[in-house]
Structure 1
Amino acid sequence: MSSLHVSKVRKAYGSTEILREINIDVEDGDFLVLVGPSGCGKSTLLSLIAGLDTLSGGEIRIGNDKVNDLHPSERDIAMVFQSYALYPNMSVGQNISFGLEMRKVSKPDREKAVQDAARLLQIEHLLDRRPGQLSGGQRQRVAMGRALVRHPKIFLFDEPLSNLDAKLRVDMRTEIKKLHQRLGATIVYVTHDQIEAMTLATRIAVMKGGVLQQLGTPAEVYNTPANTFVATFMGSPSMNLIPARIERMNGALHLQVGEGQKAIDVELPPQPAAVERYIGEKVIAGLRPEAIGVENERATSALRTVPVTINVLEPTGPDTLAVLDLGGIEVSARLGADMPHAPGEPCELRVALSKLVLFDTDTEVRIH
């Protein structure tokens, strides 16, 4: 396995910029997920790493080797595609071993590699079948097996689960995570599904419009988003973005939400020094749905009780999604399954301000 270093990488077609100075470092054994909406440039970046497209600027290194001008076959990478790309006239075993055969690997070594990969992926009983006799999940395992036998420096996955149904996607996510844990492989994985990103990655790169918005661990991206785009793209339901104002009262900072009779004033727990600059100014207050209506929270000094009106309740089984009126502003909350209140009913809920994130109104960048 190996590290990957993407430095100031650009890609343009004529005057149209697809990628704008992307900088990403992936350590040996990392599972990096490139995530973002369609057209953000994540698949283009994967193609540049694979050597399937040429850079307009910048540098890509695999380990200590600069690979900008290397052919894909010389980069020692293995790619798993969305479409599986299996040969229909070959058996599963032949599909897995075909790349090794092309590299003149001896037959005994090929057979051992195929058996090892099949055992790891639990497809030993499928080796004599043709791809047309397999389910979508089984085909995906075969495609992964073909990549595994190569023992490449880096695995590249291009939306490999998007063709599967919802339950199978969940099952295959688990298998891919197990695979990474067993092998300690370096993986770069492209998806538009933020749930896949959160569950699989050791590090996430969030992209939008060809620009890297944030690079960090799943916890960093989820709890301390760099800007309002990351805040709303990561998480379902997404983070509430609430217009508010910072004021100082009786020596403490307060957050004022809404206006008129519905206005709410909440004393803030200690804040970063940067927040002091916003006294008397408007900000965007970010709160995850699970931070509203908390029942168990250790940081009691950061708990505040606020009045709300329940507009909509959506029971999901383990919890209840709710749409609330908070200071005249509609917000989402993730409440307990045994929520005792009914739609239209005013009540008081506890809010965990330890999870509050503040953003600049003009730049939409996190204040920290």
Structure 2
Amino acid sequence: MTAARIAVIAGDGIGLEVMPAGIRAVDAVAVVHGIALDWHELDWGSDYYRAHGRMLPVDGLDVLAEHDAIFLGAVGVPEIPDVETLWGLLIPIRRAFEQYINLRPVKTLPGVTNRVRTDDVIDLMIVRENNEGEYSEIGGRAYRGLPEEAAFQENVFTRKGIARAARFAGELAAARSGKVTSATKSNGIVHTMPFWDEVVRETLADYPTVELRSELIDALAASLVLHPERYDVIVASNLFGDILSDLAGAVTGSIGSAPSANLNPERKHPSMFEPVHGSAPDIAGQGIANPIGQIWSGAMMLDSLGRRPAADHLVAAFELALADGVRTRDLGGTASTEEFASAVVARVDALADTFAGAAVAS
């Protein structure tokens, strides 16, 4: 059996704490399903930056290209500007490996109270365009230090970039409820957003079973708070998707539980899996961080590697732990990061017979 090569970048802050929990949980389910994983830990991040003046080695992307997937914890520390940490590690990886889809599931979790009043279950997927849009590298500063100092940032939206995000959302929705909501702001942003609307509409016309609804980003953000249960698949630009997924994750209990997958759908390059939360320096080192985002991202990684039964098993395990009352502080409990990870591993074992048939099939 050939082992899947996984590059591990724990990074900074609570990334160093939730990563061991994530690996431990993934390893536990991998044993049940007979999956061989070859973990390669890389000490890249802010400590590497302090020592070398960069977030990863010169040949870092070449090293990552030799792997089947990338498992990332969190990046960033207060004393180093985000422009150095994010643009020195996370964003170059997303772009070099054409990880143009950022997929972020959001749902009500057992035993966790939604932060909004709703009797309905929240279960939605945010499809974020991940390579262009508002996070363009085109721009600059002029007249530095003078009263007329100015900054320029160019948004870049291409027909190809929009269409492939819309297509991914359409295919996802066709397998779910058949409903896609497109985030826009075409009443105020007069060039890029009408173009976004046009390409999304044209692309989803190829999916006759999918119903498309466009909503202005401000109204959509408010509606996600008031009526989150109404949404199924949301497709959004880089910036809008980033904001909406954090908001939706908080609505369902805690951003600490939110996972994400940076996908290269064609599998030409490795995809990257990371929790939505940041490095959380305010709680780093205390052992209380919620590891669900990392564990759930690990399940998404297993799914991407063609091991869906194992992915479903791992999700079921952490959901059972939550249902049994094991929760970290951000979810109203008292469990430490390590205690929650141990609870998940125990439930992986407890559910092994339930998933035994799937394990054989996988």
Q: Would the TM-score normalized by the shorter structure come out above 0.5?
A: no
Q: What TM-score comes out, normalization by structure 2 length?
A: 0.26
**More relative contact order, 1 or 2 (CA 8 Å, 6+ apart):** 2
Q: What TM-score comes out, normalization by structure 1 length?
A: 0.26
- The structure with more radius of gyration: 1
Task: Give the structure with the higher percent helix.
Answer: 2
